[in-house]
Amino acid sequence: MSADLGHPKMLARRLGIGVPEEPTLIEKFVELIPLRYEFAALVWAVILRTLAYHVVEYIDHGSTSFSLDRSESSAIIANSKIR
């Protein structure tokens, strides 16, 4: 019986201490960003929302306004200000 008390779960049950549970897949994903959990979740929400918007835009229109080329994005902004 003394061998059973050495097991962490048995000892925790005897002392009335809860054994910490394993993090879920989502929690592990959020913890990839080295910030407090709340801020990391917010960052992932912004990243995934932006990504989802551009994917849906591409599916709907066959193209997206997203561009890494500064000259194209500057031209789009300049044209929108002229109108």
Going through the chain in order, the beta strands assigned E by DSSP cover none
* pLDDT reading at 1 higher than 70: no
5-57 pLDDT tens trace: 556 666 666 776 666 678 888 888 888 989 998 999 999 999 998 888 888 88
Contact 29, 44 (CB under 8 A): yes
Count of CB atoms situated within 10 Å of the CB of 12: 13
Range from 1-5, 44-48, 55-59, 60-64 carrying the lowest mean pLDDT: 1-5
* C-alpha span between 55 and 50 (Å, rounded): 9
The domain locations on the chain are 1-31, 33-83
pTM here?
0.49
Contacts of 32 (CB under 8 A, 6+ apart): 40
* C-alpha span between 50 and 40 (Å, rounded): 15
